[in-house]
Amino acid sequence: MGNSMKILLTGFEPFGESTVNPSISACRRLEGKGVDGFEIVVEEIPLRFHEIRSAIEEHIARLDPAAVICTGQSGRASISLERVAINVADARIPYNCGTQPVDKRLNGEGPAAYFSGLPLRDIFEALKEAKVPAAISNSAGTFGCNQIFYHLMDYRSRLGLEIPAGFIHVPCLPEQAVNKETPSMALDLTVKALEIAVSTVASEIT
């Protein structure tokens, strides 16, 4: 476990045509909150291909957190607890920096995939009990969300960090779904979901 009593939560900056991103919006609502003796620290991650790895590694190195939960936006209807990160970037749309990688390995020396280090089933059951739509997902995609998930787990593995760490996808906001056939979730419910996830993780840290 990290030496500090902090749990790091990250979300992404807005991307594509949107001026908001529910991942960082929800995380910001929990900033500074105390959960089971831990303090939630929030950092916004740039959706820039060559900056994501250094951003997450620098935040972990500086904070030495007891746990890390990275979040990002999906087009799904439920909170998606991601099970696996894969060693590839293959972008359907460009990153905010304009880069659009195709079939690119995230770490040429790294393994093909990493499993989440979060108690996914426990989080899922807690969300279900709280009547929050949620699912355990087996694909985090091949864009920025999978990228930060892979770099997070890769860094954790290389440094031998024995901390819970992983990635959660959150749905779009209702305002982003106007005039689109896109599922959405109210920000308050997304905030509640992330708070439950943090609380579940915090209760299992020894």
169 noted as active-site residue: yes
Catalytic residue among 82, 151, 172, 195: 82
Which residues on adjacent β-strands are paired with residue 69? Answer: 9, 166
Catalytic residue among 145, 151, 172, 195: 145
145 noted as active-site residue: yes
151 noted as active-site residue: no
Catalytic residue among 43, 169, 172, 195: 169
Among all residues, which ones are annotated catalytic? Answer: 82, 145, 169
